[in-house]
Each structure stands twice: as structure tokens, then as C-alpha cells.
């Protein structure tokens, strides 16, 4: 192959989390942190597009609660990272925007490199409390990448 086209595969869980955050926060804080969330996603996508000629994305990697802790997410990732399939689709890497603590740990374990890190608690209400509080203790959104 001559000039290798880089295809970006997005896998992550941030979209649903961000949508839920935006809806909940609109109700609670009159849209105050919607701009921050949208800005984070926009900045991540700008970086992704600047690095790649074409992108294809799978937005969500999620395992139902009753099936967690059985290695299913690792098996899904192994399928996606299959070298033969990557070559077949002319993929040279995978990037993922991840917000859940479990997926951040999984991606680190699988050798992904952190590109950007956005703290969720950077916006506070009038009392100084963070506008965004997650249920799993996540305090940041990571944009990670792994080249093949």
C-alpha cells in the first residue's frame, strides 16, 4: 500500500454520559456547563480530524451491569483490535473518548496513550461545588489513542 489512509475508530462511553449530564445539568443549573461539555467534545473531535483523513466511529463500549467483571469488554476490544481486520479496513489506529473509570482502566491496560485529559470539575456552582459529579468517581474525560 502506498499512502496509508488512517481510519479512526471511536469506541467509548462518553456520548451517553455527556447527553445525560447535559440534560440533568440543564434542569439543575440553567445550561451553565453545557458549553463546557460541548467544548470538550469539539476540541477532541478537532484533534481527531487534524490527525486523520477519514474517521469511522463506534461511540459506545458498554457491558450491562449484571455481566460486568467477566472480561467481556476486553473481548470486545480484542475483536476490534484484530490486526487482520485492521489491515483489511486499512486502519492504522484507534482513538477513544472515554469518561467512565472502568473504561479508562481498560484502555490503559490495553496500551492506549492519553492524548488529552479534561477535568470535569472545572466548572462550579455559586457555592463552589462542581457542576458535574459522576456516579463512578470519574473526575475526567480522556482522549486516548493506540497505533497499530
pLDDT score of 84 more than 80: yes
> What is the tally of structural domains in the chain?
1
Query: What is the value of pTM for the model shown?
Result: 0.64
Longest CA pairwise span in the chain (Å)? 58
Q: Each residue of 41-71: pLDDT tens digit?
A: 777 777 777 765 444 454 567 788 888 888 8
Q: Residue 143 sits in which domain range?
A: 7-147
**Cell numbers of 7, please?**
481510519
Whether 42 is in a domain gets the answer yes
Q: What CATH number is given to the structural domain containing 16?
A: 3.40.630.30
Q: What is the pLDDT of residue 142?
A: 87
Q: Each residue of 101-148: pLDDT tens digit?
A: 888 999 999 999 998 888 877 667 788 877 777 778 888 888 888 887
Whether 1 is in a domain gets the answer no
Amino acid at each position: 500500500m502506498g499512502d496509508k489512509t488512517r481510519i479512526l475508530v471511536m469506541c467509548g462511553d462518553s456520548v451517553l454520559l455527556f447527553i445525560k449530564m447535559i440534560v440533568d445539568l440543564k434542569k439543575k443549573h440553567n445550561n451553565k456547563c453545557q458549553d463546557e461539555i460541548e467544548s470538550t467534545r469539539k476540541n477532541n473531535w478537532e484533534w481527531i480530524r487534524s490527525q486523520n483523513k477519514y474517521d469511522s466511529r463506534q461511540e459506545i463500549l458498554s457491558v450491562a451491569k449484571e455481566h460486568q467483571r467477566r472480561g467481556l469488554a476486553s473481548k470486545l476490544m480484542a475483536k476490534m483490535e484484530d490486526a487482520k481486520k485492521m489491515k483489511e479496513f486499512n486502519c492504522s489506529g484507534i482513538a477513544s473518548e472515554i469518561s467512565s473509570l472502568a473504561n479508562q482502566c481498560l484502555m490503559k491496560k490495553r496500551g492506549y496513550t492519553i492524548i488529552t485529559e479534561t477535568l470535569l470539575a472545572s466548572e462550579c456552582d455559586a457555592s463552589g461545588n462542581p457542576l458535574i459529579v459522576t456516579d463512578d468517581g470519574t473526575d475526567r474525560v480522556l482522549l486516548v489513542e493506540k497505533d497499530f
